[in-house]
Amino acid sequence: MKISVFGLGYVGCVSAACLASRGHEVVGVDVNPRKVEMIMQGSAPVVEERIGELTAEVVGSGALRATADVDEAIGATEMSLVCVGTPSSPNGSLSTAYLERVATQIGWALADHSHRHTVVFRSTMLPGTCEHLLIPTLEKASGRSAGTDFGVAVNPEFLREGSSVKDFFAPPKTVIGEFDTASGDPVAALYEGIPGDVFRVPLAVAEMTKYADNAFHGLKIGFANEIGAICRALGLDSHAVMDVFLADRKLNISPAYLRPGFAFGGSCLPKDLRGLVYAARSADVSVPLLSHVLPANEEHLRRAFDLIAATGRRKIGLFGLSFKPGTDDLRESPLVDLAERLLGKGYDLRIFDPTVTLSRLMGANRTYIEERLPHLSELLSSSASEVMAHAEVCVIGSTGEDVLAALDDAGDRPIIDLVRLPDADTRRTQKGYVGLGW
């Protein structure tokens, strides 16, 4: 394939050299004449493991060259990878100036050439940037239509500086955000033979994936460092602690707890987070990340309440009450907290949870609910259909069979889904349905 790569920084330089080494004809494009000159001399403009030798090799074979002429590059290639920077503005917002400039230049060049060309954005950009900014820019500059006259895709990179060449050839995954199938097909062909799963998704999903990855990486580093600070203050070897932590591939290093849903609760997580933060503060260790986990959880619960309030209706049917499906443990259940808030604001509430029977609650579990919802016996119904008959708004905190069956009679009543119903994808298109995080 004949490919032009716009922007010869870390991502662009590595992408260009690696693609050239896989047999593609690659043209690097950059506004900096020094970078163009270095590539033409067989030198990489960045310092990175293996990139120097690889660049010299592919330039020497004629597989890679560079130019500052956008029109010439577009005319000689069938695909463009845009790898320009998207730096932060002083207020923290994303600067799209370089992206807009390159999109305009590519659009002008497309106007002068009749062959089918696919524009692929590798730069990190916020969801919606491609659809609402870059595609209109390309169409305006070219006078042509995306999907009809040229293809558009988003292909975020997952390259770590210091090991980017290795990561290119063995990525954790390949993500292709496609304007349409015809746009995604040539991008998928570009990575044939590269290991790892390939995800072909809408443009905005591909854009957001990069942010989800980087936010989680930052979160992990911050978490490990705060655990380290607490361990040091308590005289412990943090690496010994984390060795045990990392060995757990079922809950810790796994997909567990990484599906958006309702707030967490129960007898362990809130209590233990409070205890750990207290221990850190007692040892004069600042742990801003850990100390904000519970407030973040509280904010998520507030979102659920706000969605209910936004319906403007007063009769609420709450399906689910325990902190976790399959248990009757109500201690620090976010659904109990939600019920308490609704009652406090004067809502007419009825509750159904097949696992909760008031007469069977005992010990700390019973004490907790007596303190938080002393009139639970008046709120709790024995069947989901009774709650459905009462409800003007259905709040779903359980996916039990009784609940799913009752929803068949929901009609056009608003449904606030806190747990992602099995048919959430279909319901998202229906009037009145609102998912808490999807």
- For residue 297, give the DSSP letter: H
Which of 90, 68, 97 lies closest to 4 in space, CA to CA?
68
How many Å apart are CA 162 and CA 310, to the nearest integer?
A: 49
Tokens 């491609």 locate to: 130
Q: Cα–Cα distances in Å, from 242 out to 139, 248, 288?
A: 52, 10, 20
How many Å apart are CA 78 and CA 291, to the nearest integer?
A: 51
Question: Residue 316 in 3-state DSSP?
Answer: strand
- Run of H or E including 336: helix 334-344
For helices 203-233 and 269-282, angle between their N-to-C axes, nearest 10 degrees = 50
The answer to whether the beta carbons of residues 59 and 40 sit under 8 Å apart is yes
Which of 142, 128, 37 lies closest to 80 in space, CA to CA?
142
Neighbouring C-beta atoms of residue 187, cutoff 10 Å: 23
The answer to whether the beta carbons of residues 168 and 18 sit under 8 Å apart is yes
Tokens 């000159």 locate to: 37
The answer to whether the beta carbons of residues 321 and 354 sit under 8 Å apart is no
The answer to whether the beta carbons of residues 330 and 407 sit under 8 Å apart is no
CA 316, 321, 323, 324: dihedral to nearest 10 degrees? -110
How many Å apart are CA 219 and CA 116, to the nearest integer?
A: 42
In this structure, are strands 64-67 and 25-29 parallel, antiparallel, or unpaired?
parallel
Question: Residue 46 in 3-state DSSP?
Answer: coil
Choosing from 13, 18, 268, 394, which is the catalytic residue?
268
In angstroms, what is the C-alpha Rg of the chain? Answer: 27
The answer to whether the beta carbons of residues 371 and 363 sit under 8 Å apart is no
Give every CB contact of residue 309 below 8 A, 6+ residues apart in sequence: 345
- The alpha carbon dihedral of 13, 14, 16, 17 has a sign of positive
**268 has catalytic annotation:** yes
- Run of H or E including 276: helix 269-282
Just list the catalytic residues. Answer: 268
